[in-house]
Amino acid sequence: MLTTIVITVLVTGFLVILGLNFAKPEKKLERKVEHRFAVHDPQFRREMGVLMGPAIISGNTIKDLNNGAEIFPAMLDAIRGAKKTISFETYIWWEGQIGKEFAAALSERAQAGVKVHVTIDWAGSYNMDETLLKQMQAAGVNVQRYRPLHWYNLARMNNRTHRKLLIVDGRIGFTGGVGIGDPWQGNAQDKDHWRDIHFRVEGPVVAQFQAAFNDNWIKTTGEVLNGVDNFPALEKVGDIDAHMFTSSPSGGSESMHLMYLMTIAAADKTIDLEAAYFIPDELITQAFLAARKRGVKIRVLVPGKNTDSDAARHASKADWGPMLQAGIEIYEYEPTMFHNKMLIVDKLMVSVGSTNFDLRSFQLNDEASLNAYDPAFAERMTEVFEQDLKPTQRYTYETWKNRPLKDKLYEKFVLPIKSQL
């Protein structure tokens, strides 16, 4: 009898914890955002900078870096040139060569007297070489694992930091989709080397990068990283208006979801989306269909068969039918895993960063996306989109309607857990 009671208590406890990790956010969007003004309307910026998040700041430069061949050298050069502070937050840090290079560069700067703070997600770094952690800690790097598994946080083990942020001396910022792992090395030349994009940023908006890093640093350590070394006075260095938009389950997880819905609702002419994981919910689907009804041309670029998540790919396709029928163009990237995250609207507004176009990013993860409002930058990113479009295969409504029965069955199996993918 006692054994039965114990088993019942344990099973009940497990189910409660599991249910809490599947729970939807308290602030949940339920109604479609209406098209009231366009991206080019000053009202759009007014609401994005006040209703949605931090103020839009002028005077920035943003340089796109394509694939590990450009991304990693730029990040390592910035780290090796640090004079006072380095703040680095990442989801993935896997064992391998590039992980060793980052650990060595951060350790060298810490030994030279630079204050180095590193936040690594516990789940995303599950196969990190533990000797690298010890190496960095011995060198004086303050390394924190974000939400390691403990009995007291089991109910929140599903809430991870997916942010990719690097801030050097409070003046140079990096963000995008790249993780610290060998699949990102090279130039997407084969299926073992992923396609991704990252961004090097300078100007006043970098202070918002540092504030975003502080968010999870405070959650983890209780320490505020402030002072002139972390927040120096930043002069204007370019012409791009931008802000760093963040979301977190503990601070309003639906805010990133709402940001995308408002942006899609404001589109007048074009939407180009690159999504490593494209699992739109009903509201996003409605927003896309409403945009198509207004005559907006919509192109979506997603991974093809070379993906790191077959489950996410099948969960995505289950609801493509109405979008394909409405004329939304969906393309599958064929050469390798496609890990880009970028939204371009009306050749003016560009959103890039860590956020995937799925419920996990909208509701469960801590995310960071850089929103830029600049026609020249949007034109450059459209050129990148057009290049990415070349090695793709368009997925038609006929293809969707005639997909194999086994795929349809797989979709039904994964749909109940699509928020976890």
Domain boundaries along the sequence of the chain: 25-420
DSSP symbol at 81: T
Predicted TM-score of the model (pTM)? 0.91
Other CB atoms within 10 Å distance of the CB of residue 183: 21
pLDDT at position 153 is 57
User: 400 φ, ψ to 5°?
Assistant: -65, -45
Per-residue 3-state assignment (H helix, E strand, C coil) for 15-78: HHHHHHHHCCCCCCCCCCCCCCCCCCCHHHHHHHHHCCCCCCEEEEEEEEEEHHHHHHHHHHHH
Measured CA distances, 226 to 55, 81, 99, 242, 290 (Å): 19, 21, 28, 22, 44
pLDDT at position 360 is 82
Q: Supply the CATH classification number for the domain 25-420.
A: 3.30.870.10
| Gap between the Cα atoms of 302 and 5, Å rounded | 49
User: 302 φ, ψ to 5°?
Assistant: -130, 170
| Gap between the Cα atoms of 165 and 178, Å rounded | 10
Encoded tokens for 406 = 């086994």
pLDDT at position 156 is 56
Angle between helices 254-266 and 282-293 (to 10 degrees): 10
pLDDT at position 8 is 45
pLDDT at position 18 is 41
Length of the chain: 421
Which residues does the chain have with pLDDT short of 70? 1-30, 149-158, 250-253, 415-421
pLDDT at position 255 is 82
Q: Is the dihedral of CA 380, 384, 390, 396 positive or negative?
A: negative
pLDDT at position 15 is 41
Q: What contacts 84, CB < 8 A, 6 or more positions away?
A: 114, 115, 169, 170, 229
